[in-house]
Structure 1
Amino acid sequence: MLTPNWSLIVVSPEKPPSHKSPLKVSEEIVSIEEVAVVEDYPPDGGLRAWLVVFGVAIGMGAMIGIVTSWGTWQAYYEEDALRTKSSSEIAWIGSVQSAMSYAPGLLVGRLFDMGYFRLPVLASSVLFVACMFLTAECTQYWQFLLCQGFGIGITSGVFFNIGSMVLTHWFKKRLGLALAIAYSGISVFGCIFPIIMKTLLQYIGFKWTMRILGFISLGLLVATNMTAAGRLPGTRDLGPLFNLSEFKKPVYSFYVAALVFNNLALTNASTYITLSAVDAGVDVGFSYDLVAIINAVSALGQLVGGMLADRYDPIDVLISTLLAAVLNFAWPFATRVATLAVSAVLIGLSTGGVWASMVQPFERMGRLADVGLRIGMGFTLVTVGVVAGSPISGAIFDATGSYKNVGYYSGSALVLSAALMVVARHFLNKYDRARKHRDGRGRSRLEPALA
């Protein structure tokens, strides 16, 4: 940071140094200092910042915890509510729901960069709870697709995007830990919701199960709206909604492509492991618990991944967790309780590490004022991978009747994603070196004022 004891000396071969009054020079120095603080120095802690993390965490749990529990709904719909539909058709509901969690990123990023936070959070909270109650009344496939796929998906997507973005304004050096704690809310409630659903379905049926889940989400979202808040005022001079110039940066293009292939496969194991366990003759109760195990363990994966991403390069953490693609090759061969439990634990650790680390690289690719744009564009394109992943897996299973082929497809997609991450890391390191060199040249022009 600049201090009042520094003066700014502009060196140019074309123009002589400008002669300004000491007052004007002092005002410029203060202005530069204020911009530097806003751009480069989030609080990185404090009660207010951690309250924001708490609010985002329970909001993520209330909304995305429902989305990540889709494997439980997939199994129930195939066995009961939508048993006349194919596995691939039912998977489209969950796939659309997951894809819509990323799809609003472009619009949400623009609103966030303009300084809007509380209004999108409140609107998404109200509409999410409404869609939960509407899903309880669904009886036809198109109704489930509309209310659960699009309704719950889009509303949860608004919060997922803006909740991820707001933490970049409050944290920098500890951003990985903040994101890990926030996303751990997904894991905790992604563990609780399947257990609640499995238990309530046996006693009160589908309608009241969904209503009770809706009331739980309502209580959590009230707390979220009371604690989460933005920090920067935003700007209205943002340029085009979709800024193609970002894709001229190789690091951005390769990183987004890696995330697209990642999301073609990342959640396939958690979606189909319950069904594979039931088909293998494993106890139905334990089979439903596998999704809860994955979500619970992913909280540990998020915390470890987030702390490692703060200490080391976050893309290195992503590469190491994505190399766990071997799990996707292996889980279809698990047919006993012990092997299925081990598979669920390892899947949870690897997916948690990915979720905790995927936002940080966006923050490093440009100005903090534009971080909403970069995350929003990236997440919107990730929608392609999310929306296609589960239906492709469902189509493969419907055509071959083998979960092993689903695992081969998912593992291959994750290997390709890891390879693209390696390329993205190379370009990100080059970008960091160039930025440090540029910043160093800028600092060399700041010399102490002569007494």
Structure 2
Amino acid sequence: MSTVLKTSALEQRPIELAVVSSHNPEPDAASENTIVVPVVDDVPDGGYGWVVVSACSLITSFFVGLTYSWGVMQAGLSKQKLAPDSTLAFIGSTTISFVAFGAVVNTHVIRFMGTRNAALLGCFLLGFGQILSGWSARSVGGLFVTNGIIMGFGCSICFLACGTLPAQWFKRRRGMANGLIFAGGGVGGCVWSVLMQSLLDKVGIEWTFRILGFITLVVTMPAAMLLKERTRRTTASIDWSLFKDPKFLLLFFGSGIATFPLLVPPFFIPLYASSLGLSSSLGSLLLALFNLSSAFGRVGFGALCDVLGPLSSLAIALVVSALSLLAIWPVSTALAPFIVFIVINGLGNGGFFSTMPSVVGHVYGPRISIAFAMVVSSWAVGYIMGAPVAGYILERYGGSEAGRAAFRPAMYYAGSMSLGSASFVLGVRHLTSKQFFAFA
């Protein structure tokens, strides 16, 4: 009688050899009854996994798309003189910063409740926070609580649920699956930025928040019901031993630095469009183009992970983003070069999000839940301070009313941070494999 052993779906280990005894209760190496059988990996790489990918992509279109469309709302609030640009950018960055601040805590929430129930909670907070923002649109403190904290916790839960669940369903196609999921954020940002500007023009800021909140609840909660785990997640906590690994240190600090410039373009595109003499509606369309380019970047770089490897793909995405910020945006004195910048930066920007889950899964395998939560926690400072620092620099040089030249120092700051993060990722790539274009 022979026995075949399988790994758990969550561990996703490669084929190994297991020693099994068919008769002798205490087998030894010399026993003729001892047989060697393969331990097989049963990750389906498809099937119901594609339903999971579709549902996660739809949810991502809201929690990423809405946060990346904050620039439209920021421009509207700026016109009403609610607060300086740096403060308004701080409100928007607070929302997405909770993806990092709540990473370790919310992995325990997901473990306790299960992915489906946790995603339902996240989607509810996402929509409810926007509805409450409709009653606090004239209060900076109120927006920090409703749009920043409440909506932020919803974003954090949704990000962790949708960002790590594909690892249970995909291995060979994991990069493509993650790319399709996070592409939903780009498509959503394209839709919401246009719809947001249309609602602002027709019903004002208060009802724009409320309508978007109701739409979020109606669409995302049924999608969350489709999420399904193949195995229950292990409890993620802080594994201090990872800080002894040079690869983890480089990835931890490199990805943290990378988040500083990520929100600068989407938050400031409408303001920069205004400095070029363009209308608010055209500014929202340019932000929609950025988000659409981000969607293509998420899919493209996600697929590239399966070809060149995730670390190489992440490094390329960061370099593309850096070059667009340092070489193209500063010379965008007209609509045409500004569009070129928007498209190229959107591609690189989107590539960061779709490659990061694959990078962590590639380097740390079965420990992805723990390692990913710890890596994401390093994004907190960059998320919450990246765009506000750019806003502060802008104000120091005269503010958005001072024209295009006032934006350039903020551009150079963002581009330098992106280029610096790429050097950290290349360091991880060097420690992992000497060959750059190789899937190690």
TM range (shorter): 0.7 to 0.9
* Alignment partners' CA distance in 1, 2:50 and 2:315: 28
Residues 1:242 and 2:238 aligned together: yes
Aligned to 1:447: none
Structure 2 letter corresponding to 1:419: S
Aligned to 2:401: none
Deviation at 1:147, TM superposition (A): 0.5
Residues 1:395 and 2:406 aligned together: no
TM-score, normalization: structure 1?
0.85
SS in structure 2 at match of 1:94: helix
* Alignment partners' CA distance in 2, 1:234 and 1:63: 22
Does structure 1 retain, via aligned residues, the 8 Å contact 2:131–2:211? no
* Alignment partners' CA distance in 2, 1:215 and 1:7: 54
Structure 2 letter corresponding to 1:375: F
Does structure 1 retain, via aligned residues, the 8 Å contact 2:127–2:212? no
Structure 2 letter corresponding to 1:108: N
Aligned to 1:43: 44
Aligned to 2:220: 221
Deviations 1:361-386 (A, max 9, x none): 11122342x21111111101111211
Does structure 1 retain, via aligned residues, the 8 Å contact 2:301–2:354? yes
Q: Which of 246, 249, 257 is residue 261 of structure 1 equivalent to?
A: 257
Aligned to 1:185: 184
Structure 1, 220-229 or 190-199: larger mean CA deviation = 220-229
Aligned alpha-carbon RMSD (Å):
2.6
Deviations 1:12-63 (A, max 9, x none): xxxx9478896xx78xx88x83xx63xxx421111x1100001100011122
Q: Which of 269, 275, 284 is residue 280 of structure 2 equivalent to?
A: 284
Aligned to 1:136: 134
Does structure 2 retain, via aligned residues, the 8 Å contact 1:176–1:310? yes
Aligned to 2:58: 58
Q: Give the direction of change, closer, same or farther, for the CA distance of 1:7–1:418 in structure 2 (3 Å limit).
A: closer
Question: Greater relative contact order: 1 or 2 (C-alpha under 8 angstroms, separation 6 or more)?
Answer: 1
Aligned to 2:418: 414
Structure 2 letter corresponding to 1:169: Q
* Alignment partners' CA distance in 1, 2:220 and 2:234: 27
Deviation at 1:283, TM superposition (A): 2.6
Aligned to 1:311: 307
* Alignment partners' CA distance in 2, 1:118 and 1:420: 35
Which ranges of 4 or more aligned residues in structure 1 deviate by more than 6 Å? 18-21
Matches within 5 A, 1:26-425: 33=39, 37=41, 41-46=42-47, 48-80=48-80, 83-112=81-110, 116-138=114-136, 139-235=138-234, 241-324=237-320, 325-329=322-326, 330-368=328-366, 370-401=367-398, 402-425=406-429
* Alignment partners' CA distance in 2, 1:306 and 1:172: 13
Deviations 1:403-445 (A, max 9, x none): 0000110111111111111101112238xxxxx9xxxxxxxxx
Deviation at 1:265, TM superposition (A): 0.8
Structure 1 letter corresponding to 2:58: I
* Alignment partners' CA distance in 2, 1:93 and 1:99: 10
Does structure 1 retain, via aligned residues, the 8 Å contact 2:315–2:426? yes
Residues 1:8 and 2:19 aligned together: yes
Q: Give the direction of change, closer, same or farther, for the CA distance of 1:427–1:111 in structure 2 (3 Å limit).
A: farther
* Alignment partners' CA distance in 2, 1:396 and 1:251: 33
Does structure 2 retain, via aligned residues, the 8 Å contact 1:277–1:335? no
Which of the pair has more CA radius of gyration? 1
Does structure 1 retain, via aligned residues, the 8 Å contact 2:116–2:226? no
The alignment covers a number of residue pairs equal to: 409
Q: Give the direction of change, closer, same or farther, for the CA distance of 1:203–1:9 in structure 2 (3 Å limit).
A: closer
SS in structure 1 at match of 2:207: helix
Q: Give the direction of change, closer, same or farther, for the CA distance of 1:72–1:261 in structure 2 (3 Å limit).
A: same
Deviation at 1:128, TM superposition (A): 1.8
Q: Give the direction of change, closer, same or farther, for the CA distance of 1:426–1:143 in structure 2 (3 Å limit).
A: same
Unaligned runs of 5+ in 1: 11-15, 431-435, 437-451
* Alignment partners' CA distance in 2, 1:374 and 1:112: 16
Deviation at 1:134, TM superposition (A): 0.1
Does structure 1 retain, via aligned residues, the 8 Å contact 2:106–2:156? no
Does structure 1 retain, via aligned residues, the 8 Å contact 2:93–2:263? no
* Alignment partners' CA distance in 2, 1:342 and 1:328: 11
Structure 2 letter corresponding to 1:223: P
Deviation at 1:392, TM superposition (A): 0.9
Q: Give the direction of change, closer, same or farther, for the CA distance of 1:244–1:201 in structure 2 (3 Å limit).
A: same
Deviation at 1:113, TM superposition (A): 5.7
Deviations 1:307-347 (A, max 9, x none): 11111111111111211212112314313221222221112
Deviations 1:126-168 (A, max 9, x none): 2222111100111211001111011111211111112101111
Name the % identity. 25
TM-score, normalization: structure 2?
0.87
Does structure 2 retain, via aligned residues, the 8 Å contact 1:306–1:357? yes
* Alignment partners' CA distance in 1, 2:221 and 2:18: 49
Unaligned runs of 5+ in 2: 6-16, 22-26, 399-405, 435-439
Structure 2 letter corresponding to 1:71: G
* Alignment partners' CA distance in 1, 2:264 and 2:98: 17
* Alignment partners' CA distance in 2, 1:7 and 1:312: 32
Q: Give the direction of change, closer, same or farther, for the CA distance of 1:77–1:115 in structure 2 (3 Å limit).
A: closer
Structure 1, 198-207 or 371-380: larger mean CA deviation = 198-207
Structure 1 letter corresponding to 2:72: T
Does structure 2 retain, via aligned residues, the 8 Å contact 1:115–1:232? no
Does structure 2 retain, via aligned residues, the 8 Å contact 1:110–1:373? no
* Alignment partners' CA distance in 2, 1:64 and 1:58: 10
Structure 2 letter corresponding to 1:105: A
Matches within 5 A, 1:421-432: 421-429=425-433
Aligned to 1:443: none
